[in-house]
């Protein structure tokens, strides 16, 4: 097969969680541009419908399924609706996650409820997604991609959000375990983004204007001298979803400008 052909996702069906905005929307559009039909899931139907319009404009089908990923039954419903509409699931991206606001969540001071909320969204929902997606991929094969974070690199401490950092580090470990259990038919990889100024990112750091966002490149000392864009993550996900990466499983790819 010609090498460029290996990056194409024609006739494949991809599910993306947290696809209503930010990185998830970018991933969904990139997968559609590469040729896949897309199922978009997050809690807000209006956001999903906006993503759906963008996907339709690149000529691919899009199914909107409002879903709270912390509820396993809703993830099961998402998989079932995808199967009913498209007959199969080839690609599943566990992207929904993040921090709700700029409140510091120190490891030693966080409440049990807050710790549970971080683990449920950023780790347990990824586990549920992997279990459910893999049940639908057993015979046909597929690729599962978990969105981790550069905060998980080399056991770097997360200064203000310990529970989030711990959850994302555990996502890398969970990815490796699933990859062994699900080989050879299903590949499981993680993508770990560096700083990307999405709404969630700006809220979590209390950044109120573009100047503050721009100054981060220097503060964070990013070797490639810019913040990331959602398309940077979209390209990496297309690679991990496509036959171009067919001999790669159990890996975490850091897409972080080298920081």
Residue in 86, 164, 178, 254 annotated catalytic: 164
Binding ligand NAD (rule: CB under 6 A), the pick from 69, 79, 91, 182 is 69
Which lies closer to ligand NAD via its Cβ, residue 66 or residue 142?
A: 66
Q: Does 254 bind ligand NAD (CB under 6 A)?
A: no
At its nearest, how many Å lie between ligand NAD and the CB of residue 67? 6
Angle between helices 125-137 and 72-86 (to 10 degrees): 30
- Going through the chain in order, the beta strands assigned E by DSSP cover 13-17, 37-41, 62-64, 91-94, 142-147, 186-193, 252-255
Q: How far apart are CA 255 and CA 149, in angstroms?
A: 9
Residue nearest ligand NAD (C-beta atom): 22
Q: Give me 47's structure tokens.
A: 């956001």
Which lies closer to ligand NAD via its Cβ, residue 207 or residue 244?
A: 207
Q: How far apart are CA 122 and CA 70, in angstroms?
A: 9
Q: How far apart are CA 74 and CA 118, in angstroms?
A: 18
Number of residues that bind ligand NAD (CB under 6 A): 30
Interface residue list for ligand NAD (CB under 6 A): 17-18, 20-24, 42-44, 47, 67-70, 95-98, 121, 147, 149-150, 193, 195-196, 198-201
Q: Give catalytic residue positions.
A: 164
């Amino acid at each position: 097969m010609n090498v460029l052909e290996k990056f194409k996702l024609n006739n494949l069906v991809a599910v993306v969680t947290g696809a209503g905005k930010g990185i998830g929307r970018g991933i969904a559009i990139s997968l559609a541009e590469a040729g896949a039909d897309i199922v978009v899931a997050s809690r807000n139907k209006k956001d999903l419908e906006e993503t759906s319009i963008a996907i339709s404009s690149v000529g691919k089908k899009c199914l909107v399924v409002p879903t709270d990923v912390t509820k396993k039954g809703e993830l099961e419903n998402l998989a079932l609706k995808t199967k009913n509409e498209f007959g199969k699931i080839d690609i599943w991206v566990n992207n929904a996650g993040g921090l709700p606001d700029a409140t510091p969540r120190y490891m030693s001071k966080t409440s049990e409820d807050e710790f549970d909320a971080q683990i449920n969204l950023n780790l347990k929902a990824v586990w549920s997604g992997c279990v459910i997606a893999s049940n639908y991929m057993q015979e046909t094969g597929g690729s599962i991609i978990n969105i981790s974070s550069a905060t998980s690199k080399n056991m770097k401490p997360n200064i203000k959000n310990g529970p989030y950092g711990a959850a994302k580090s555990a996502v890398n470990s969970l990815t490796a375990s699933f990859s062994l259990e699900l080989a050879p038919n299903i590949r499981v990889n993680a993508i770990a983004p560096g700083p990307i100024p999405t709404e969630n990112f700006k809220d979590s750091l209390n950044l109120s204007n573009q100047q503050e966002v721009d100054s981060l490149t220097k503060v964070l000392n990013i070797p490639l001298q810019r913040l990331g864009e959602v398309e940077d993550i979209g390209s990496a996900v297309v690679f991990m979803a496509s036959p171009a990466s067919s001999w790669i499983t159990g890996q975490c790819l850091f897409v972080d400008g080298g920081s």
